Amino acid sequence: MKHSVALIAPPFTLEDRYGKDMKHFGAVTEPLGLAYLAGCLEEKGIDVSIIDAPAENMDIESVVQKIKDIGCSLVGVSLLTPSFGVVKKLCHQIKNSRSNITIILGGPHCTALPERTLVEIPSADIVCFGEGEHTIVQVAMDIENSGLDAINGICYRDDRGAVQKNGPRPYVENLDEIPFPARHLLPMGKYHMTASRVADESYCPTIIVARGCPFGCTYCSHTFGRKLRFHSVERVISEINFLMAEYKIHQLNIEADTLTANKKFINSLCHALIETGIAQKIKWTCESRVDTVDYNLLKLMKQAGCWQISYGFETGSQRLLDMINKSVTLEQAEETVRYTHQVGISIRGFFMLGLPSETREESMETINFAIKLNPLWSQFTITVPYPGTPMFDSLDRENKIKTYDWEHYNTWSGWKKDARIPFVAEGRTPEELIGLQKMALRKFYMRPSVFIRFLSSVRSVKDLKKYMIGLYVLLKSKIALQG
Ligand code: B12
Ligand code: SF4
C-alpha cells in the first residue's frame, strides 16, 4: 500500500528563534529539505502535501486540524535542535487526534541523535537520519511490504517497543538524480529573506548547489558529510532559469556549505552565469570561507552577479581560531576582506561569542576585530554546541554541558526571555554572555559611520522602518542594561 504523505515545517516561530525584539530581522524561508523530499515522492507517484507552519502563521492546533483535513496516513516532520519542544508537542497532538497515523521525523537533530530522539519523543514512530530523499520514498512505499528493518537510514520501534537502528544510507552520489525541490507545493508568496541578505525588496529564493564540506570546524554539524558533492553546472543553470520563468526573480541566494570550496566548480558556475546572460539579470549572495577565495576569483564572482558574500570570521583571537580548527589566520581574514571590498562585493560577517575557554578579553577582541574588518553587516551569536559536532562531544565528555533541554540550543539567547545557555566557559556567566551579545551589536552598529552608511542606502519607507526598529532595539537593550 502506498501512503499519502504530509510533510510539516513545524510552528517554530521567528519569536521562538530570535526573541521578541529581534524577530523583526529573521527570515521565513522555503523549507527546501522538505521540498526535496516532496519532489522525490511526487516522482514516484505518491500523493504529498507540505504544511509550512511558519510561512502560513499556523499554530500547533491548526497544523493538527490541517492534517486531519488532508486525511494522510504518513506525516513527516522536520526537526532542528531548538525546535525540539514544538515538535514534541506537535507529534503528541497529532497522535492524540489520530492514533493510526505514522509519524516520521528527520533533519539535522535527528541525524545527530537518532535513537535518543525516538526515545525523547514517544509519539514519533520513525526517525530518519542523514539525507531523507530515498528514505522517505521507501518508507512511504514499502512500510507494509518489506518492513522497517529493511530500510536504511532509520530508527524505529519494534513490536516490543524497543528502539532499533538500521544501517546508514549512503549519501546521494549524483545530486542531479534528485528532482527540483517541489516549490509548487509551498506557499511561495509568503517567504522573505533576512534584510541583510537582500539587494532589494523583490523575492529572493534559495537554490542549493552543493552538499558536504571537507573542512573540520569543531562547532559544525556536517549534516551532509565531509565529501563535497555538486549539482552539475547545467542543472544549476536550468534551476535558475526555472526560477526566473516561474517566479520572475531578480535575486538569488546560492547555498552550499562553502560555495568556493572547489575552485573548478565555482569557476565553471561563474562562467556559465556570464555566458548565459543570467549574470546581467540576477544578483546573488553566497557563503564562503576567507581561505577559499582570491582576488581573481572574487573579480569573476562579481562579474557573474555576486553582490554579497557571508564569511564565517568567528573570532578575533588566533588562539581560538586554532582551537575550533578553523584553519585560517586573522591575516587571511583581513586580506580577503580587502580584496572583496576592492572588487565591489559587500560582506556579512559571522562572529561567535563564548567559545570554550574564551576569556572576556578575547570576546572583546572578537568585537573589535569585527569593527576593524568593518563588513556591512555583522552577526554575533552565542556559541551553541549542537549535538553531532565535535564541540558537543568533547564538552559532553567533560560534563560541561549545562542543559540537555534542546529548546535552549539557540544562538540568540541574548534576546530571548528565560534563556538557558547550554555551555558557558569557566569563569564566565550566562548573564555576562547575554549582555555581551547585545553590547557587540551596539558597539558594531551604533557608530556614526554606520549610521551614515545605512541612511544613505535607504531605498524605501520599508527600509527606513527596518533601520528605525533596529535602532530602537539597540537603544532598548542599553536602557534595559542600565535599569
Ligand atoms: C541555509 C541555512 C539556513 C538558512 C535557511 C535559508 C534557506 N532558504 O534555506 C537560514 C539563515 C534562514 C537558517 C536559519 C536557521 N538555522 Co540554519 N542552516 C542552513 C544550512 C547552512 C543549510 C540548510 C539547507 O539548505 N539544507 C539543505 C536541505 C536539503 O537539507 P535539510 O533541510 O537538512 O534536509 C535534509 C535532511 O536533513 C533530511 N530531512 C530534513 N527534514 C526532514 C523531515 C523528514 C520527515 C525526513 C524523512 C527527512 C528530513 O532530508 C533532507 C533532504 O536530504 C544548514 C547547514 C547544513 N549544511 O545543513 C544550517 C543549519 C540547518 N541551521 C541551523 C540552525 C541552528 C538554524 C537556526 C535555528 C538558527 C537560529 N538560531 O535562528 C535557524 C532556524 C531556521 C528554521 N528553519 O527554523 C543548524 C541546525 C543544527 C541543529 N542541530 O539543529 C545547521 C545544521 C547549522 C549548524 N549550526 O550546524 N539556516
Ligand atoms: S563551518 Fe562551514 S567551513 Fe566549517 S566545516 Fe562547517 S560548513 Fe565547513
Q: Are 11 and 90 in contact (CB under 8 A)?
A: yes
Rg, Å, the chain Cα set: 22
Give me 343's grid cell. Answer: 572588487
356 in helix, strand or coil? coil
Å from CA of 19 to ligand 2 middle: 26
Count CB-CB contacts under 10 A for residue 418.
7
pTM (2 d.p.): 0.96
Q: 224 CB under 6 A from ligand 2?
A: no
For residue 223, report the phi and psi dihedrals to the nearest 5 degrees: -65, -25
User: For ligand 1, which residues put their CB under 6 angstroms from it?
Assistant: 12, 17, 27, 29-30, 32-34, 36-37, 76-78, 80-82, 104-109, 112, 128, 131-133, 135-136, 206, 208, 220-221, 223-224, 255, 257, 386-387, 410-412
Q: By alpha-carbon position, which residue is closest to atom 2 of ligand 2? A: 257
Q: Which ligand is nearest to the CA of 326?
A: 2
Give me 243's grid cell. Answer: 526560477
Q: Which fold has domain 5-165?
A: Rossmann fold (3.40.50)
Domain spans in the chain, listed from the N-terminal domain onward: 5-165, 193-445
HEC readout, 164-216: EECCCCCCCCCHHHCCCCCHHHCCHHHCECCHHHCCCCCCCCEEECEECCCCC
Q: Which ligand is nearest to the CA of 325?
A: 2
- 4's CB contacts (< 8 A; 6+ apart) are 46, 47, 48, 70, 71, 72, 73, 74
Candidate from 16, 23, 56, 80 with most ligand 1 atoms within 8 A of CB, to mutate: 80
Q: By alpha-carbon position, which residue is closest to atom 7 of ligand 2? A: 257
Give me 476's grid cell. Answer: 532598548
Q: Which ligand is nearest to the CA of 112?
A: 1
List the end-to-end C-alpha distance of the chain, in Å, as a whole number: 63
Candidate from 8, 67, 78, 175 with most ligand 1 atoms within 8 A of CB, to mutate: 78
Q: By alpha-carbon position, which residue is closest to atom 4 of ligand 2? A: 217
Q: 213 CB under 6 A from ligand 2?
A: yes
DSSP codes joined into one string, 411-459? TTGGGSTT---S---TT--HHHHHHHHHHHHHHHHSSHHHHHHHHHT--
Candidate from 28, 111, 221 with most ligand 1 atoms within 8 A of CB, to mutate: 221
For the domain bounded by 193-445, which CATH number is listed?
3.20.20.70
Q: Which amino acid is present at 312?
A: G
Tens digit of pLDDT at every position of the chain (483 positions): 667 999 999 999 999 888 888 888 889 999 999 999 999 999 999 999 999 999 999 999 999 999 999 999 999 999 999 999 999 999 999 999 988 899 999 999 999 999 999 999 999 999 999 999 999 999 998 776 568 999 999 999 988 999 999 999 999 999 999 999 999 999 999 999 988 889 888 999 999 999 999 999 999 998 899 999 999 999 999 999 999 999 999 999 999 988 999 999 999 999 999 999 999 999 999 999 999 999 999 999 999 999 999 999 999 999 999 999 999 999 999 999 999 999 999 999 999 999 999 999 999 999 999 999 999 999 999 999 999 999 999 999 999 999 999 999 999 887 878 889 999 999 999 999 999 999 999 999 999 999 888 888 887 887 788 788 888 888 877 766 543
State which ligand 1 atom lies nearest to the alpha carbon of 211. Answer: 57
- 184's CB contacts (< 8 A; 6+ apart) are none
Cα dihedral: 224, 225, 227, 232 (round 10): -10
Q: By alpha-carbon position, which residue is closest to atom 42 of ligand 1? A: 106
Q: By alpha-carbon position, which residue is closest to atom 30 of ligand 1? A: 33
Å from CA of 259 to ligand 2 middle: 11
Q: By alpha-carbon position, which residue is closest to atom 3 of ligand 2? A: 215
Q: 326 CB under 6 A from ligand 2?
A: no
Q: Are 207 and 254 in contact (CB under 8 A)?
A: yes
> Please, which contacts does 320-325 make with residues 24 or more away whose CB atoms are closer than 8 Å?
320/355, 320/357, 320/358, 320/362, 323/218, 323/355, 323/356, 323/357, 324/217, 324/218, 324/219, 324/352, 324/355, 324/391, 325/216, 325/217, 325/218, 325/390
Q: Which amino acid is present at 424?
A: V
State which ligand 1 atom lies nearest to the alpha carbon of 132. Answer: 50
DSSP E strand stretches across 294-421: 306-314, 346-353, 377-382
State which ligand 2 atom lies nearest to the alpha carbon of 326. Answer: 4
Å from CA of 124 to ligand 2 middle: 31
Q: 211 CB under 6 A from ligand 2?
A: no
Å from CA of 410 to ligand 1 middle: 13
Q: How far apart are CA 120 and CA 100, in angstroms?
A: 20
State which ligand 2 atom lies nearest to the alpha carbon of 214. Answer: 8
Q: 261 CB under 6 A from ligand 2?
A: no
What sign has the CA pseudo-torsion 280, 283, 286, 292? positive
Q: How far apart are CA 258 and CA 241, in angstroms?
A: 23
Q: 217 CB under 6 A from ligand 2?
A: yes
